[in-house]
Amino acid sequence: QVQLVESGGASVQEGGSLRLSCTASGNTAASTCMAWFRQPPGKEREGVALIYIRSGGEPYIEDSVKGRFTVSRDDANSSVYLHLSGLKPADTAMYYCAATDAWCFGSTYLRTLYFAFWGQGTQVTVSS
């Protein structure tokens, strides 16, 4: 089992920035692919970014947030980060970290069913 804990969510003004963190514990060897999803109020969960946790994995950012969001990892601390900038009210959502023990690259893998482990989420609220 892998436990994921997110942090860093906050209420910010439009145009602001945040860094979300997700730290894995437990059987971290089973969290080779880590991703961020978000679920806006009243909408379905959608993929935002993913990264293969071992060296050689290229990060993938969904087109809708490309240029404003980036994803990075810290292998030593079994952590992944989502850097949010240029925030818009439409970015308001609960942001979830997810992990699975498999290769991942690109949009094909950024699907909720692909991930075995989930965090509880961290809320991001952007006001205009």
Percent of the chain with pLDDT over 70: 96
Closest alpha carbon to 22 in 124, 113, 98, 103:
98
**What does the pLDDT average to over 86-95?**
98
Output the six-digit token pair for 73.
């990892």
Residue whose entry in the numeric block shows the structure tokens 């892998």: 2
The answer to whether the beta carbons of residues 59 and 51 sit under 8 Å apart is: yes
Residue 28: the pLDDT is 80
> If you average pLDDT over residues 81-108, what whole number do you get?
94
Q: Is the pLDDT of residue 87 over 90?
A: yes
Residue the block writes with tokens 């030593």: 76
pLDDT digits (tens, 9 = 90+) for 30-76: 778 999 999 999 999 999 999 987 666 689 999 999 999 999 988 88
